[in-house]
């Protein structure tokens, strides 16, 4: 179905020469499995290499390119850990090339003794000698022109090097086809857009820092493409949904009332209102697609639970999907307790279920014996078939993709969908992410909650803070210590956290735990369990705790390098504490001399606990140029577009889609067919299938 022109971009990254399974895993973790996924991952910086005639002129630690005569190879005979060295001359200055784990025959062929080569790398000075460790480039004399003076820098994942990345993306850039323009002339002229191919090439080959700005027209063109594809896909699926019927639940609420009566608390006004809105959707003949927004701790889970039980009341199955297996397990435990007196069969299905256990569970789901099914994304995989799915609740998920899949899973019998977000999104942004989706908002906390007290302290006073923690350690209260966030490097992230862990553990022996993103899912779960159930007081973490793990006794949150976090992210992290009625404190540690915008973020955090207010303010600051944490802001995330900068593009995309929906809703005329290419490129294939089905 995809055109032959764009098909090659969808080959697996693994199919490229030089990419084996190990690298493939890293690429997959970073961007995804296919060539096209690297195209959407744009550089965030550039490095410049200076061409140097004589090494004496160069600054230590700078990136340089220069010519060497290879004099002598000095392999490391005694230990494989000792470096392999090659003595060279640059003019008449000695310079040593250093390699760890050199591949033997290979290194002799790329740097033969007695010949000259151009070398590029970072200049070091070690024991009175110039040296380059692992030159990034070695080229033959007549191939100097293949060396670039300026290279883009991409954010990477641990284990994936700059060089490999650059080589790979270069190969892919050569495969970009020429495609016929799908953007109308008016828009092209308005923004001075270039064609698609050139925009991609230029975005990946920045030549100055200016090229990295959001205002760069090449990036803008790609951002517009992305927004257009997204809006178009939503419109297509919406149009289709409006034509077909959904599932209608009963009016009578036997089990739901029983459950409400059993709850140990009364619903808040917000919860009642949200439930009423959901109830009306569920009992109407149309498919419900609703977003339930509310701060962490505002009580979304109960609303989800009532909706799920409503499904049972109407003889359907209810499904609750969580983003991680820890959260799925947590929901399962909580809901099992509440559901016990109601005699409802509840089942947990995650990636951990394999073999017979999985088959057994799949069978229970298929026969309908399992009434409420909780799990991860595994729940909407093709091999899971339901007896009568009536409602799907997605927890903490911003992924529109879920709706897309679901619209097709049960054609003709479309389950209701409730998606819950603990990171409130401003209305305009919700529109961008979900189209005109229905929304319910929980704007208050359950009664009796004490607002979290937020303070900021300069990092120079960290020792006072640590001393004050001694009192807390003696109670059964728990403390989170979140370490600085380095978006570009997981390794630096981990280093910071490990250091903090070690210093705290020296003072509070055996009371401190460490959790980070490079642990396996299972290991993370173990750490969380220990923190929750055993005699540990402090959990040092990179931002992995951001997802909604619930530790009721956690009353203190310390965020180190708070100036590096986006506002929504800070709020989200703070939401891990204050989950019962004990007083809770959040402490933001910051470096001296932080910027104006960072100051504003910290001030806002101290001023309010209201997630809706924070979300609006976050969006405002980002519009003022607050670039921090595009990835970590709670906003719907696009690969290229950033709504803080691309609001006008979004509006234009929306208008264009409106025009298309009125004039060529099935994308059949000339431009419509080109737009199908666009949808394919951004993998809105479900929209295309819908188009063909409807
Ligand atoms: P969210 O998912 O919105 O972060 P939860 O649903 O996990 O929040 O609720 C947080 C806590 O508040 C839970 O322990 C829940 O039982 C409790 N809770 C929910 N609603 C109320 C209420 N109306 N009154 C008192 N406690 C409530
Ligand atoms: Mg929750």
The per-residue pLDDT for 464 is 95
Res 672: pLDDT: 95
pLDDT for 633: 46
Span 314-351, pLDDT tens digits: 999 999 998 878 889 989 999 999 998 999 999 999 88
% residues pLDDT > 90 (the chain): 54
Separation between Cα atoms, residue 480 and residue 475, nearest integer Å: 15
DSSP 574-643: HTTS--SSS--EEEEEE-SS--HHHHHHHHHHHH---HHHHHHHHHHHHHTT--TTTTTSSSPP-SS--T
Tokens of 183: 């953007």
Distance 419 CA to ligand 1 centre (A): 17
The long-range contacts involving 49-52, CB below 8 angstroms and separated by at least 24 positions, are 49/120, 49/147, 49/148, 49/149, 49/150, 49/151, 50/149, 51/149
C-alpha triplet 266, 267, 273: angle, nearest 5°: 155
Q: Name the percent of the chain in helix, strand, coil, to the closest 5.
A: 45, 20, 35
What is the pLDDT at residue 485?
65
Mean per-residue pLDDT, 184-188:
96
Pick the ligand that lies closest to the CA of residue 572. Answer: 1
Residue 17 token pair? 């020469």
Whether 25 shows a pLDDT value over 90: the answer reads yes
Q: What is the DSSP letter of 378?
A: G
Q: Which residue has the tokens 């100097």?
A: 144
Task: Give the mean model confidence (pLDDT) for residues 618-630.
Answer: 65
User: Which atom, in ligand 1's list, is nearest to the CA of 442?
Assistant: 3
Residue 403 is predicted with a pLDDT of 53
Q: Given a cut of 60, is residue 406 above it in pLDDT?
A: no
Do 597 and 566 touch, CB atoms closer than 8 A?
no
Q: Which ligand is nearest to the CA of 303?
A: 1
295 CA closest ligand 1 atom index: 3
593 falls in which pLDDT band (50, 70, 90)? confident
Higher pLDDT, 25 or 423: 25
Give, using CA atoms, the residue closest to atom 21 of ligand 1.
446
Percent of the chain residues topping a pLDDT of 70: 92
**pLDDT of the residue at 400:** 45
- Indicate whether 556 pLDDT > 60: yes
Q: How far apart are CA 556 and CA 286, in angstroms?
A: 45
Q: Is pLDDT above 60 for 19?
A: yes
The backbone torsions φ and ψ at residue 73, rounded to the nearest 5 degrees and listed phi first, read: -85, 135
pLDDT bracket for residue 432 (50, 70, 90): confident
Count of residues in the chain? 694
Residue 631 has pLDDT above 60, yes or no: no
* Most informative mutation of 268, 292, 299, 323 for ligand 1 (most atoms within 8 A of CB): 299
Q: How far is the CA of 322 from the centre of ligand 2 (A)?
A: 9
Average pLDDT, the chain: 88
Q: Locate the ligand 1 atom nearest the alpha carbon of residue 268 and give its number.
A: 23
Instruction: Identify the band that residue 159 occupies on the pLDDT scale cut at 50, 70 and 90.
Output: confident
Asked whether the predicted pLDDT for residue 405 surpasses 70, the reply is no
User: What is residue 592's predicted lDDT score, i.e. its pLDDT?
Assistant: 84
User: Is residue 546 over pLDDT 60?
Assistant: no
Is the CB of residue 446 less than 8 Å from the CB of residue 245?
A: no
Cα distance between residue 599 and residue 546, in whole Å: 22
Pocket of ligand 1 (CB under 6 A): 265-268, 271, 294, 296-302, 422, 446-447, 548
Q: Which two tokens stand for residue 332?
A: 């399962």
- Ligand 1 pocket test, pick from 264, 302, 332, 447 with the greatest ligand atom count within 8 Å of Cβ, gives 302
Q: Which atom of ligand 1 is nearest to the CA of 303?
A: 6
**pLDDT: is 581 or 45 the higher one?**
45
pLDDT tens, position by position, 286-317: 888 888 999 888 999 999 999 999 999 999 99
Q: What is the pLDDT of residue 528?
A: 87
Cβ atoms within 10 Å of 683's Cβ, excluding its own: 18
> CB atoms < 10 A from the CB of 220, how many?
23
Q: Which two tokens stand for residue 277?
A: 């809105």
Rounded Cα distance, 466 and 443, in Å = 35
CA–chain centroid gap for 178, Å, is 30
Residue nearest to atom 16 of ligand 1 (CA): 299
pLDDT, tens digit, for every residue of 359-370?
Answer: 999 999 999 999
Residue 316 has a CB neighbour count (10 Å cut-off) of 25
Q: Residues 485, 486, 488, 493: is their CA dihedral positive or negative?
A: negative
Please compute Rg for the chain using Cα positions: 28
Does the pLDDT at position 433 exceed 80?
Answer: no
**Integer Cα distance of 84 and 61 in angstroms:** 21
Stronger pLDDT, 250 or 426, i.e. the higher one: 250
Quick one: CA dihedral 259, 579, 601, 613, positive or negative? positive
Is 626 a residue whose pLDDT tops 90? no
Q: How far, in Å, from the CA of 619 to the mean position of ligand 2?
A: 23
Taking only the tens place, the pLDDT of each residue in 446-493 is 888 888 999 999 999 999 999 999 988 988 899 999 987 665 566 677
The pLDDT, as a whole number, for residue 670 is 94
Ligand 1 pocket test, candidate residues 297, 331, 545, 571, most atoms within 8 A of CB: 297
Q: How far is the CA of 252 from the centre of ligand 1 (A)?
A: 25
pLDDT at res. 634: 46
Q: 674 in helix, strand or coil?
A: helix
For residue 578, the ligand closest to its alpha carbon is: 1
What span, in angstroms and rounded, lies between the C-alpha atoms of 292 and 419?
A: 6
Ligand 1: residue of 271, 446, 579 to mutate (most ligand atoms within 8 A of CB) is 446
Q: Supply the pLDDT for residue 437.
A: 73
Task: With a cut of 60, say whether residue 402 has pLDDT above it.
Answer: no
Distance CA 344, CA 316 (A): 12
With contact defined as beta carbons under 8 Å apart, do 113 and 104 qualify? no
* Confidence at residue 662, expressed as pLDDT on a 0 to 100 scale: 93
Whether 693 has a pLDDT exceeding 80, the answer reads no
* Res 479: pLDDT: 96
Residue 9 has pLDDT above 90, yes or no: yes
Give the contacts of 161 (CB within 8 A, at least 6 positions apart). none
Span 636-680, pLDDT tens digits: 568 898 877 888 999 999 999 999 999 999 999 999 999 999 999
Q: First vs last Cα of the chain: how many Å apart?
A: 17
How many C-beta atoms lie closer than 10 Å to residue 153's C-beta? 16
Mean pLDDT calculated for residue range 178-200: 97
| Ligand nearest to the CA of residue 300, numbered in listed order | 1
Q: What are phi and psi of 293, to 5 degrees?
A: -110, 145
Strands (E), 350-407: 372-375, 389-395
CB-count exposure of residue 300 (10 Å: 0-12, 13-18, 19+): buried
Please identify, by atom number, the ligand 1 atom nearest to the C-alpha of residue 301.
6
Average pLDDT over residues 442-446: 90
Residue 271 CA: nearest ligand 1 atom is 23
Output the CA 253–ligand 1 centroid distance in Å.
22
Mean pLDDT confidence for 45-52: 89
Predicted local confidence at residue 462, as pLDDT: 95
So what's the pLDDT on residue 490?
65
Tell the residue nearest (CA) to atom 10 of ligand 1. Answer: 297
pLDDT higher than 70, residue 407: no
From the CA of 581, the nearest ligand is 1
Band the pLDDT of 520: cuts 50, 70, 90.
confident
Average pLDDT of the residues in 81-101: 91
Confidence of residue 690 (pLDDT cuts 50, 70, 90): confident
Q: How confident is the model at residue 547 (pLDDT cuts 50, 70, 90)?
A: low
Q: Determine the pLDDT at residue 95.
A: 96
Q: Decide if pLDDT at 214 tops 90.
A: no
């Amino acid at each position: 179905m995809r055109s032959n022109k764009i098909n090659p971009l969808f080959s697996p990254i693994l199919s490229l020469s030089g990419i084996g399974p190990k690298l493939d895993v890293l690429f997959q973790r970073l961007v995804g499995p296919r060539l096209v996924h690297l195209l959407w991952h744009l550089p965030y910086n550039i490095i410049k290499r200076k061409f140097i005639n004589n090494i004496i002129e160069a600054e230590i630690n700078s990136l340089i390119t220069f010519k060497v005569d290879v004099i002598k190879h000095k392999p490391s005979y005694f230990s494989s850990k000792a470096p392999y060295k090659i003595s060279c001359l640059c003019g008449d200055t000695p310079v040593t090339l250093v390699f760890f784990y050199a591949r033997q025959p290979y290194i002799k062929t790329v740097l033969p003794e007695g010949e000259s080569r151009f070398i590029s790398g970072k200049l070091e000075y070690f024991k009175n000698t110039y040296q380059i460790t692992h030159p990034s480039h070695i080229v033959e004399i007549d191939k100097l022109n293949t060396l670039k003076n300026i290279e883009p820098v991409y954010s990477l994942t641990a284990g994936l090097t700059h060089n490999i990345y650059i080589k790979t993306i270069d190969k892919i850039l050569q495969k970009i086809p020429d495609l016929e323009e799908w953007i109308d002339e008016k828009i092209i002229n308005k923004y001075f857009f270039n064609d698609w191919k050139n925009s991609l090439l230029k975005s990946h080959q920045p030549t100055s820092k200016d090229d990295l700005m959001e205002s760069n027209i090449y990036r803008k063109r790609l951002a517009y493409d992305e927004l257009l594809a997204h809006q178009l896909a939503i419109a297509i699926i919406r149009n289709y949904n409006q034509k077909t019927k959904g599932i209608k639940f009963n009016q009578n609420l036997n089990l739901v009332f029983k459950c409400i009566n059993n709850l140990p608390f009364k619903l808040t006004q917000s919860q009642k209102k949200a439930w009423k809105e959901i109830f009306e959707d569920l009992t109407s003949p149309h498919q419900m697609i609703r977003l339930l927004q509310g701060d962490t701790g505002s009580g979304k889970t109960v609303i989800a639970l009532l909706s799920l039980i409503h499904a049972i009341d109407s003889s359907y199955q209810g499904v609750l999907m969580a983003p991680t297996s820890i959260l799925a397990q947590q929901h399962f435990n909580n809901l099992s307790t509440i559901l016990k007196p109601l005699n409802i069969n509840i089942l947990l299905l995650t990636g951990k279920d394999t073999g017979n256990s999985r088959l057994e569970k799949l069978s229970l789901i298929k026969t309908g014996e399992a009434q409420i099914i909780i799990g991860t994304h595994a729940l909407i995989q093709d091999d899971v078939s339901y007896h009568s799915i009536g409602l799907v609740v997605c927890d903490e998920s911003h992924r529109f993709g879920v709706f897309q899949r679901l619209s097709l899973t049960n054609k003709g019998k479309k389950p209701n969908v409730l998606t819950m977000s603990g990171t409130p999104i401003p209305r305009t942004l919700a529109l961008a992410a979900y189209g005109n989706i229905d929304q319910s908002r929980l704007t208050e906390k359950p009664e009796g909650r004490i607002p979290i007290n937020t303070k900021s302290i300069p990092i120079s006073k960290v020792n006072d803070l640590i001393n004050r923690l001694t009192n807390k350690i003696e109670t059964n209260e728990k403390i989170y210590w979140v370490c600085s966030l380095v978006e570009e490097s997981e390794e630096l992230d981990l280093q910071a956290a490990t250091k903090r862990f070690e210093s705290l553990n020296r003072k509070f022996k055996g009371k401190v735990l460490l959790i980070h993103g490079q642990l396996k899912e299972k290991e993370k779960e173990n750490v969380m369990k220990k923190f929750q159930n055993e005699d540990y007081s402090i959990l040092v973490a990179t931002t992995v705790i951001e997802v909604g793990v619930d530790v009721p006794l956690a009353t203190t949150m310390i965020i180190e390098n708070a100036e590096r976090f986006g506002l929504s992210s800070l709020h989200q992290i703070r939401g891990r504490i204050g989950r019962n009625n004990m007083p809770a404190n959040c402490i933001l540690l910051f470096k001296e001399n932080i910027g104006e915008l960072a100051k504003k973020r910290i001030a806002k955090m101290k001023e309010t606990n209201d997630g809706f207010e924070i979300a609006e303010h976050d969006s405002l600051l980002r519009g003022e140029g607050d670039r921090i944490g595009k990835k970590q802001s709670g906003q719907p995330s696009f690969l290229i577009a950033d709504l803080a900068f691309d609001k006008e593009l979004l509006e234009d995309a929306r208008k264009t889609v409106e025009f298309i929906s009125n004039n060529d809703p099935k994308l059949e005329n000339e431009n419509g067919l080109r737009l199908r290419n666009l949808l394919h490129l951004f993998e809105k294939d479900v929209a295309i299938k819908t188009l063909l089905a409807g």
